Amino acid sequence: MSTREDSKADDPVIESRDQLVAPMANGEKPRERWRIGTEHEKLVYKRDDFHAPSYDEPGGIRDILLSMQDFGWQPVEEGGKIIALKGEDGAISLEPAGQLELSGAPLENLHQTCNETGRHLAQVKEIGDRCGVGFLGLGMWPDKTRAELPMMPKGRYGIMARHMPRVGDLGLDMMLRTCTIQVNLDYASEADMVKKFRVGLALQPLATALFANSPFSEGKPNGYLSYRSHIWSDTDPHRTGMLPFVFEEGFGYERWVDYMLDVPMYFVFRDGKYIDAAGLSFRDFLDGKLSILPGEKPRESDWWDHLSTAFPEVRLKSFLEMRGADGGPWSRICALPALWVGLLYDQTALDAAWDLVKDWSMEEREALRDAVPKLALDAPIPGGGRLQDLAKDALKIARAGLSARARLGEGGDNETGFLSTLDEIVESGKVPAQRLLDKFHGEWNGDIERVYKYSF
């Protein structure tokens, strides 16, 4: 999740609808400027007893962030406490219970993405050795209850934690217990954005299935392969889901603005502090009628903040975010951008991917999304067959798209090799969660702590 810093003194007040559309419209870039941004979160645990470290304890989250400065990262503070870092490889931030996230820099190709990921993991592992911590590449804590997890000292998280139980039963689980991999991608025009958004939404259940990696809760199998994905179905209906309006005629930037104006607010950031605005209306804010700031109108930075508080399967800001995948280890961190870049960054591949899903009804899209958390690649798809069948077609398209990009690494190889992890999953029909369950019921003999020695 994004980390807020103080606004600039010249932050303009929003006076027109054009300012609301501007973040999305200004995101348009010619193909040669398209970039890849990869975000990935990790669960942090103490090696001696596997507990989730608090912010303040020795060798805890604060000490990890302070130590990362040895690699050139610059601190970002809130209320006098370091809560994030900035550097050449993007930003390091904290999720609510101390999950450590790298929001990678916008990069030209997947070779650079994997080099960035490798540098980051090498750094955190070195810091882990100093602080006595390890890192888990899973979609959800396999054994921790909510009560066993700390809360990080970020103002927005306190507001969200108070609000979540009002709107869903699993929102606190989303905040405290989950991890994801996400990919941020560019678009050339409004029409290009629309097509990529539609393909991304329709095929997001495929990504969820391929990366399903959260089969345990509180030490036992939970009946799901991606419980993280299931959690989103009961988090907050006002800001999650498959967004039927994206597939309606006339969808574009203006319609996205209308959607975001209907998403209830969380907060307003003023003078370095978060003010609780949970459940209030940004439309009222535009009219100067926000109860907590009477007579004040929003600034452009307030709109940028608000754009980060919706959590659908695909999200639009000044780029498109693919949000359906569970967290995982290094090879899968590289595989997720490979999938989406292959499908969306070559026009022939994008057209072919749209052909796979263009005839699906909204009911069929919703049914697939609902089935995947439990069934993964065994989920039925519209028209008959299983998601595993569709996955083979999608990977073929993605491979052709990456080949057409012809972005070569130092060894002269193109980007298609980053799909190999997914090829193995699809050919076997077993997603990562199923392999974990096999181990749990087999060689681990039901001992969930064995997962700490396995996933990274």
Mean pLDDT within 379-385: 97
Q: How many CB atoms lie within 10 A of CB 123?
A: 20
Domain ranges of the chain: 17-263+310-453
17-263+310-453 topology per CATH = Creatine Kinase; Chain A, domain 2 (3.30.590)
Under a CB-based contact definition with an 8 Å cutoff, are residues 196 and 344 in contact?
yes
Rounded Cα distance, 306 and 261, in Å: 9
Confidence of residue 61 (pLDDT cuts 50, 70, 90): very high
330 band by pLDDT with thresholds 50, 70 and 90: confident
Averaged pLDDT for residues 433-455: 93
Please list the alpha-helical segments (H only) found in 183-327: 190-210, 227-232, 253-262, 282-286, 300-307
What is the token pair recorded at 187?
A: 């678009």
pLDDT of 353: 98
What is the distance between the alpha carbons of residues 361 and 394, in angstroms, rounded to a whole number?
A: 19
Q: What is the pLDDT of residues 333-342, one digit of tens each?
A: 999 999 999 9
E strands, 339-418, where?
none
CA distance 410 to 378: 38
Q: Which of 185, 306, 191 is nearest to 253 (CA)?
A: 191
pTM of the model: 0.96
Q: How far is CA 379 from CA 222, 225, 359, 370, in A?
A: 18, 12, 18, 9
38, amino acid identity: T
Question: Across all residues in the chain, what is the average pLDDT?
Answer: 96
Cα end-to-end span (Å), the chain:
23
- For 66-106, the pLDDT digits (tens) are 999 999 999 999 999 999 999 999 999 999 999 999 999 99
Question: Nearest 5 degrees, angle CA 200-CA 201-CA 206?
Answer: 75
Closest by CA to 39, choosing from 181, 139, 137, is: 181
389-393 mean pLDDT:
98
Helices (H) and strands (E) in the chain, counts: 16, 13
Query: In this predicted structure, what is the pLDDT of residue 4?
Result: 56
pLDDT for position 9: 63
pLDDT digits (tens, 9 = 90+) for 169-196: 999 999 999 999 999 999 999 999 999 9
